[in-house]
Structure formats: C-alpha cells, structure tokens
Amino acid sequence: MSDVLVKLAEVLEARKSADPSSSYVASLHDRGLNKILEKVGEECTETLIAAKDAERSGETRELVSETADLWFHCMVMLSSLGAGPQDVLDELARRFDLSGLEEKASREQK
C-alpha cells in the first residue's frame, strides 16, 4: 500500500522545481506555503461534506475521491516543509501499540 505513497512523494519532489506554468504542484510551491495550506483546508472541508453525504446516502465514492485530494495536498504540504509520507507512516507505527488514550496523554505531557 505504501508503494503508491512513495511513488507519489517522488513525483511531488520532482515537480517542486518544475515550471509553475506547466505543473500544478510547482504552481502551489511557487505561490508559497499559505496557498498550500489554503488548499489543504479546502480539501478538508470538502472531505467532511462528502462524509456527511456518504452517511446519508451510503455511497462512499465521493468521500474516497475527496480523501484522495486531501491526502495529495497534505503530501504537498509535507514536501514543502521537508517531510514526507514515510515520516507520517513512522509516526503511525510508533503509535501502533499504544491505546488512543495513552497516545493522547503522552502528547498532553509534552
């Protein structure tokens, strides 16, 4: 499953330095972190709306599509800040043997 994330991360890194007029990813980086964050927020909102619609309809196609958009833009954000999907996967793995309550308590103590 993570092979797709690795490949996407490689493409995103390569496109950071592409011509902004020919690459959506390059255009986001060219416009700066605030624009990238705006897109993450927009996709987050669209994902939430799609989840509510899926709850009513039982159809998840739009929810999956919006979640893919959100993940994509989160990966652009991570890339912009020098991080990537492996960092997130490592953090999830670190939390794997913790209960959610234990993990949350460990963050509150920091």
Q: Is 82 left (phi over 0), alpha (psi -120 to 50) or beta?
A: left
**Rounded CA gap, 97 and 105, in Å?**
14
pLDDT at 43 over 70: yes
- The pLDDT mean for the chain works out to 92
Closest Cα partner for 42 from 25, 66, 24, 16? 66
Contact 2, 85 (CB under 8 A): yes
Residues 82-105 have pLDDT tens digits of 999 999 999 999 888 877 677 677
**Rounded CA gap, 75 and 89, in Å?**
12
Residues 70-79 have pLDDT tens digits of 999 999 999 9
Q: Which two tokens stand for residue 64?
A: 């999956």
pLDDT at 42 over 70: yes
Please report which confidence band the pLDDT of residue 54 belongs to, taking 50, 70 and 90 as the band edges: very high
Instruction: Return the amino acid letter for 92.
Output: L
